[in-house]
Chain A
Amino acid sequence: MRIHSQALRQIARHAAAEYPAECCGLLVGRGDEVRTASAVRNLLGGERCDRFELDPVGHVQVWERAHANGEDVIGCYHSHPDGQAQPSSIDRRLARGFGGPFGYLVVAIDGQSGDLEVFSGQIQEDGEIVPVPLEIIEGVDGAGGGTDGGSLAAGAEDSAATA
């Protein structure tokens, strides 16, 4: 998966803003290139801090916008506040229900330090989530860089509107 550094910062900012609840959203782009991250409301965000359910109404809205721009929804992301940068057992179980291919990012955020760690994966056709290398495409501001996930600063500059 390749992701624009700006999109990754959008995700980082979203995860920090929603902490201690989980955030969720969609990855928009073409092929395996994520150009933007679109925040979507977590239907469970007000109930508990260890679950997400992406609002399907927001999903439709993001999809229609992407379609109008000649892009596609190519994956999703969510955060694990004070958790692991790995898909959990429930992540894996629910991914099996529909299958892929579909990009899958998990961002672990440390509430004390603000540090983030990213898991980059793909839901395969059989529903299994497998890790994939993450290539960060430098933005015009020159931020970002690195492969295979890793850490990134939580102080993202780019806001992401919640659909």
Chain B
Amino acid sequence: MPVTVRIPLPLRQAVEGLSEVTVDAAQVGALLQALEERFPALAGRLRDGSGGLPRFLRVYVNGQDVQLLRAAGTPLADGDVVALLPPLAGGAT
């Protein structure tokens, strides 16, 4: 089932400059694996060593954080929009 993946600026160089990519996948984990296989430069940036979500990546499906759903097991449907986000945080001290 084709879903649209929005690619953030920091990952664009790894996906040939594309701002969005269409991927056939039934779950978030499979989608991230498919992206890594299609774009080898993404290897290690989308999944941790055990196939889960890495610390420095947030994944949203239709505006919902997959960590509040079923994480890598979150199901996907035709037309879903997946956003990959860098977590932005810091502070003065």
Binding site for B on A (CB under 8 A): 22, 24, 44, 49-54, 56-57, 59-61, 63-64, 67, 72-74, 76, 78, 80-81, 83-84, 87-88, 90-91, 94-95, 97-102, 123, 125
Complex contacts, A61 vs chain B, CB 8 Å: 63
Beyond the given A51-B92, A64-B63, A125-B13, could you list 18 further A-B residue pairs with CB under 8 A, ordered by the A residue number? A44-B89, A49-B92, A51-B89, A52-B88, A52-B90, A53-B87, A54-B89, A56-B60, A56-B65, A57-B65, A63-B6, A80-B92, A97-B86, A98-B86, A99-B10, A101-B9, A102-B9, A125-B10
Binding site for A on B (CB under 8 A): 6, 8-10, 13, 19, 55-58, 60, 63, 65, 83, 85-93
| Chain A proximity of B40: nearest CB distance (Å) | 16
**Contact of B85 with A59 in the complex, beta carbons under 8 Å:** yes
| Chain B proximity of A26: nearest CB distance (Å) | 8
Residue of B nearest to A87 (CB): B90
- For the complex, what is the distance from the CA of A56 to the CA of B6, rounded to whole Å? 14
| Chain B proximity of A143: nearest CB distance (Å) | 27
- For the complex, what is the distance from the CA of A73 to the CA of B88, rounded to whole Å? 13
Complex contacts, A94 vs chain B, CB 8 Å: 87-90
Residue of B nearest to A123 (CB): B10
Residue of B nearest to A49 (CB): B92
| Chain B proximity of A17: nearest CB distance (Å) | 17
Complex contacts, A22 vs chain B, CB 8 Å: 91-92
**Contact of B91 with A91 in the complex, beta carbons under 8 Å:** yes
Report 8 cross-chain contacts, Cβ distance below 8 Å, ordered by A residue: A51-B89, A52-B88, A52-B90, A60-B63, A60-B85, A61-B63, A72-B19, A83-B92
